[in-house]
């Protein structure tokens, strides 16, 4: 399993979003971007997380943070999810889970005693230099925005 660390180069990617537009790592150069990984569209935790990010999107943007979601669902699923919940940020379709694996979010999970591999809810901040600026290897759905705000606060205080 990959474990990203601060200042690591962000792994490359090139994936379509909910409208079919491709996004690649190089597009993020010069920007600060929250990339969050989640298991599935339309599950309670994933929906709560996406809606919390939607509700705080303008504030995050005003602080210079872009947002990208990533799951292994396809573009059609993402399109329905984004439309239904009025999500204004890209959600990348990583159906082969290559990006999810490269960012360390594809892990063994367990549910009802059954073990399987799947996406672990996690997030990273990719800095303008395309290096990892923050890592949250496991994240509760409603902790994403507070953790990003905490990170921003620590940057402002110079720690």
Classify burial at 83, counting beta carbons within 10 Å of its beta carbon; exposed 0-12, middle 13-18, buried 19 or more. Answer: exposed
Contacts of 81 (CB under 8 A, 6+ apart): 18, 41, 42, 47, 50, 73, 87, 91
pLDDT at 12 over 90: yes
* Residue among 126, 106, 122 at smallest CA distance from 2: 106
* Segment 29-47, tens digit of pLDDT: 999 999 999 999 999 999 9
CATH numbers and ranges of domains, the chain:
31-156 (3.40.30.10)
Clarify whether 46 is annotated catalytic: yes
Predicted local distance difference test score (pLDDT) of residue 111: 73
What is the per-residue pLDDT across 17-31, written as a single tens digit (0 to 9) for each? 999 999 999 999 999
Structure confidence by residue, pLDDT tens digits, 119-148 = 999 999 999 999 999 999 999 999 999 999
Residue 159 has pLDDT above 60, yes or no: no
pLDDT of residue 1: 64
Active-site entry in 34, 46, 123, 132 = 46
Q: What is the pLDDT of residue 115?
A: 87
Each residue of 44-82: b (16+ CB within 10 Å) or e? Answer: eebbebbebbbebbeebeeeebbbbbbbbbebebbbebb
| Chain length of the chain | 159
* Span 8-19, average pLDDT: 97
Question: Is residue 116 very low, low, confident or very high in pLDDT (cuts 50, 70, 90)?
Answer: confident
pTM of the predicted model as reported, rounded to 2 decimal places: 0.94
Token reading at 111: 């549910």
The pLDDT of residue 113: 87
């Amino acid at each position: 399993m990959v474990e990203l660390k601060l200042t690591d180069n962000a792994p490359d990617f090139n994936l379509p979003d909910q409208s079919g537009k491709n996004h690649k790592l190089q597009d993020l150069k010069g920007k600060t971007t929250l990339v969050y990984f989640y298991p599935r569209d339309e599950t309670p935790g994933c929906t709560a997380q996406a809606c919390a990010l939607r509700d705080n999107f303008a504030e995050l943007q005003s602080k210079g943070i872009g947002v990208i979601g990533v799951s292994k669902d396809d573009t059609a699923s993402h399109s329905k999810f984004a439309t239904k919940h009025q999500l204004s940020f890209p959600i990348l379709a990583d159906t082969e889970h290559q990006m999810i694996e490269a960012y360390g979010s594809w892990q063994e999970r367990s549910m009802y005693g059954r073990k399987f591999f799947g996406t672990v809810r996690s997030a990273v901040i990719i800095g303008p230099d395309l290096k990892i600026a923050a890592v949250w290897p496991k994240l509760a759905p409603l902790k994403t925005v507070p953790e990003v705000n905490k990170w921003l606060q620590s940057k402002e205080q110079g720690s």
